[in-house]
């Protein structure tokens, strides 16, 4: 077997890991936005807005 197979496999695995990390970041961002909206709806203010 040539080394090309292992090189291609490593690129594919790396691309899958990077895609998974990006997907995780997008899902986490959506969860955080939803949580902040829920807190705002309940009237919980942000400390950074006080002053």
Per-residue pLDDT tens digits for 1-51: 689 999 999 999 999 999 999 999 999 999 999 999 999 999 887 677 655
Q: Residue holding tokens 């997907």? A: 23
Helix (H) or strand (E) holding 22: helix 3-41
pLDDT the model gives residue 2: 85
Domain-located, residue 35: yes
- In whole angstroms, what is the distance from residue 50 CA to residue 42 CA? 17
Q: Residue holding tokens 């400390």? A: 47
CA 2 to chain centre: 36
pLDDT the model gives residue 36: 92
pLDDT the model gives residue 51: 52
What is the pTM (predicted TM-score) of this model?
Answer: 0.71
Structural domain boundaries, residue 28: 3-42
Domain-located, residue 37: yes
Taking the CA atoms of the chain, what radius of gyration do you get in angstroms?
21
- Provide the number of structural domains found in the chain: 1
Domain-located, residue 23: yes
Domain-located, residue 47: no
Domain-located, residue 49: no
């Amino acid at each position: 077997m040539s080394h090309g197979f292992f090189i291609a496999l490593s690129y594919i695995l790396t691309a899958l890991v990077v895609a998974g990390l990006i997907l995780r970041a997008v899902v986490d961002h959506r969860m955080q936005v939803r949580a902040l909206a829920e807190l705002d709806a309940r009237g919980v203010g942000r400390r950074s807005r006080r002053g």
